[in-house]
Structure 1
Amino acid sequence: MATNDWDMYDYILESKDAVRNIVEHQDEIFGEALDYLEGKNIDRIYIAGSGTSYHSAFAARKLIEDKLGIEVTAVYPMEFVDNTRVFTKNALVVGISHAGRSTSTIKALDRARELGLATIAMTAERDRPLNDHADVTTYIEIGDEFAGPKTKGFIGSIATLDVLGLMLAVRRGAITEEEKGELERKMLATTDNIPAIADAAWAWYRENAEDLKRSRRLVVLGCEGNMGAMLEGTLKIWEAVRYAVAGYELEEFMHGGYHSIDDKTYMLNLGNPGKHFERMLRMRDYFVKERGAHCFVITSEDKGHRDVDFVFPFQNEPYFSSMEYVVPLQVIARKLSLDLGIDCNIASDPDFHKKMGSYTY
């Protein structure tokens, strides 16, 4: 298939096989990085990335932190360069850039090396500038992704970070091989569902398309294990439909954001089961009844939902829920952009990164 024949939706469907490939070929993919880390007393990890790379780091952080038993921080590269004071010489800095060209991620890795810290570059592309700015490179082995807004890149990056963290945890004796295998099985059960989620989300979108096409002001809300999905879904829709989309953590939104909600506002609530679900429904009902907002809940819960909600039997594994709940948002991004006459596979300005110097060539 020619490059320009590929569509963002195709890559959503490929996410399942991309994750399975990472798990099945982990010894080959991560061997060099694990050998590099052998004997190093790593007591802190920073994962630096922008956009989708940052969101994947945010989504993967908790599993790595819990299983390694050390602090893991997802950080914007320039925040690491400009404002982060590192208090340990035993920190590891992972710089992640799907395209391998992010100037800010390169600067973060350069600062880490100046501080004498261990560094790993993580990218989906070979022979890119990022590789020259870290001690070792680990590749995000998901195959090609030519379309503009990254979909399997997000899910594949989470899997890459998670599997590396689990392998390192086994080597350090923090978890057993059996514990690692069980977590990998849960991750695969989650991502094997992705094509079914995408198909169901497309059917749901068609039922609600006439209403969604009128949206020009969209808010995405998330909490707990779905914060990564909220951040990435917000970006995907924003990239694709090219009007303002805002994403918030549920409680943070209540501290001011609620003032702006009216009958022209559209809201997507990521309703994963947990201690915040009932609160999210209560807020949804408030905005529908008292503000006239257009509210949709994405959930697996067979209670409290309305006919307009997207209900699917998600796996709801706490460490991996962002990998499944992001899929309906990715589908909305692609299908809504098509209905608005926007080809999100084509950049609005192909030379933007050259003009801004945000990519290194």
Structure 2
Amino acid sequence: MATMLDYIHEEEPTLLRILDNFSETTDAKLANSKNILVLATGSSYNACLAAKVALEQLGDVSITIEEPYHFQHYGKLSSAIDTVIAVSQSGKSASTSYALEALEHSELYTIALTSNLDSSLAQKADRTIDLNIGVETVGFVTKGYAATVLQLMLLGLAIGQAKGLPKEKVQQTIKELRKLIKRIPSIIEASEAFFAKHEAIFKLSERFIGIGYGANWGTVKEFETKFTETVREPSQGFELEAYMHGPYLEADSQHVLFFVETADENAQRAEMLRKYMEPAVGQTFIITAGRSDEENVLGLEIEGEKFFSSLVMVIPFQLFACRTAAAKGIDLSQRIFDDFDEVLKSKL
């Protein structure tokens, strides 16, 4: 039986295969994409948030991400929207499928991103992009999350191509993504060592907070999802500035704060916040794209565009979730709430 850890180790070959399958053939329909509505929930939503900056930069588009149930029942479709992307790894998300179905008779260009090409979601869209990961049997998705981030980045590249992005830029982007993906085994190894060093803190802590900015807002939201699903202790991910507007007031000695940092204009502000909060909480850790030998800093040593970093900066949190659950005595192979989807009709 495959485990969460197995799928984490499969991320590098899976992402390299996706990258190898990227076609430089131009899709003329994508050239008309300017304002895109993305419908997704759960880890798919987090992946869209992590890929948003890259997708916008590469495709020269504006992205709006909506929870599909809320959008269908309470939202209003902007007249500026020309393209809709519906994302569901399994293709079974009822809310995503129904929201896309509600747009079926519009003139919008619709794209489904899923690993289930036979799903109703795939059948409702004008175009379907295969996540190309097969079936991830563990409910706490890891490989599928990373694949979604990469496929969305590549979709941004494809939109850029359709709009005349120079071939050299396309090839440079592919090269940079490949270099990033090949860092994954080293990131896993460094994350394992970091966890082993701080295992007692992970095991005993009762409140976990992730703080990120830019593309890594999506990373800390996925941290929130993974820790909630597996560690089953109160866990939240905040955008840097949002944390400063109220959430900091609950800080106490039971809190562990993770700061996800890349080298941009927000790094100094994040460091100021960390130093301010350090005396008020049990522990602060930094996950940085750079290099570090400091005790409480995990340096991933990755280079390139900062908005690509979210593709791999989630991996430490995936591993921490798996290891922390085990340290707390939680057996992730034992299913809980097994009838939830059937009773609540959340999956088709």
Normalised TM-score (structure 2): 0.93
Structure 2 residue aligned with 1:263, among 226, 233, 253?
A: 253
| CA deviation map 1:12-45 (0-9, x unaligned) | 1211111211121123xx97xx75x638733321
Structure 1 CA distance for aligned equivalents of residues 234 and 263 of structure 2? 28
| CA deviation map 1:221-261 (0-9, x unaligned) | 11123111111122111111112101111111011111110
Q: Is the 8 A contact 1:11 1:151 kept in 2?
A: yes
1:298 corresponds to which residue?
287
2:172 corresponds to which residue?
182
Q: Secondary structure at the match of 1:348?
A: coil
Q: Cα distance, 1:306 vs. partner?
A: 4.5
Q: Cα distance, 1:338 vs. partner?
A: 1.0
- Given the alignment of the two structures, is residue 199 of structure 1 paired with residue 192 of structure 2, yes or no? no
Equivalent residue letter for 1:263: S
Equivalent residue letter for 2:230: A
1:136 corresponds to which residue?
127
| CA deviation map 1:186-206 (0-9, x unaligned) | 111111111210111011101
Number of residue pairs matched?
Answer: 348
CA gap 1:318/1:312 in 2 versus in 1, 3 angstroms? closer
Q: Cα distance, 1:102 vs. partner?
A: 0.2
CA RMSD of aligned residues (A): 2.1
Q: Gaps spanning 5+ residues in structure 2: where?
A: none
Equivalent residue letter for 1:127: D
Q: Is the 8 A contact 2:291 2:300 kept in 1?
A: no
- Given the alignment of the two structures, is residue 254 of structure 1 paired with residue 244 of structure 2, yes or no? yes
Structure 2 residue aligned with 1:87, among 78, 82, 87?
A: 78
Identity %, equivalent residues: 27
Q: Secondary structure at the match of 2:107?
A: coil
Structure 1 CA distance for aligned equivalents of residues 281 and 29 of structure 2? 58
Equivalent residue letter for 1:60: A
2:326 corresponds to which residue?
338
- Given the alignment of the two structures, is residue 307 of structure 1 paired with residue 295 of structure 2, yes or no? yes
State how 1:121-132 maps to structure 2 within 5 Å.
Answer: 121-132=112-123
Structure 1 CA distance for aligned equivalents of residues 224 and 201 of structure 2? 19
State how 1:226-245 maps to structure 2 within 5 Å.
Answer: 226-245=216-235
Structure 2 CA distance for aligned equivalents of residues 216 and 38 of structure 1? 50
Q: Gaps spanning 5+ residues in structure 1: where?
A: none
Q: Is the 8 A contact 1:147 1:346 kept in 2?
A: no
Q: Is the 8 A contact 1:49 1:76 kept in 2?
A: yes
Q: Secondary structure at the match of 2:314?
A: helix
Normalised TM-score (structure 1): 0.90
Structure 1 CA distance for aligned equivalents of residues 281 and 132 of structure 2? 45
2:5 corresponds to which residue?
9
1:224 corresponds to which residue?
214
- Given the alignment of the two structures, is residue 276 of structure 1 paired with residue 266 of structure 2, yes or no? yes
